[in-house]
Amino acid sequence: MGRWEQYEIWVEKAGKKWEMLCLFPDVALATAVASKRAGRVRMIQIVYENDKMVSQEIVADLGHFEAEVPQKS
């Protein structure tokens, strides 16, 4: 079957729960969708080999709320 990647877009819902919104085989399309979303969004790269997941990595974490951003002194 070989090796392939997919990119999942996850959004944070009320109560700090995460929900998968969509997935794409192409990083450029996933990046475009993730960057246009309001609120907190994560893009996760999943790598498969022969129908088995071999790795997953958060490649983008966007839209932190102001309260989470460190204040300058």
**Domain containing 22: what range?**
1-49
Looking at residue 16, what is its pLDDT?
A: 84
- Summary count for the chain: helices (H), strands (E): 1, 4
> So what's the pLDDT on residue 1?
72
Domain membership of residue 4 (yes or no) is: yes
pLDDT tens for 50-65 read: 989 999 999 999 986 5
Does 20 map to a domain?
Answer: yes
The model carries a pTM of 0.78
Q: Among residues of the chain, what percentage have pLDDT more than 90?
A: 70
How many domains, the chain?
1
- Asked if residue 64 belongs to a domain, the reply is no
Q: What are the backbone dihedrals phi and psi of residue 30, each rounded to the nearest 5 degrees, phi first?
A: -60, -40
72 occurs within a structural domain:
no
Find the range with the poorest average confidence among 21-30, 45-54, 61-70.
61-70
Look at residue 66 and tell me if it is in a domain: no
70 by Cβ neighbours in 10 Å (0-12 / 13-18 / 19+) ranks as: exposed
Contact residues for 2 (Cβ-Cβ < 8 A; gap 6+) = 49, 50
Per-chain mean pLDDT for the chain: 87
Note whether residue 9 is domain-resident: yes
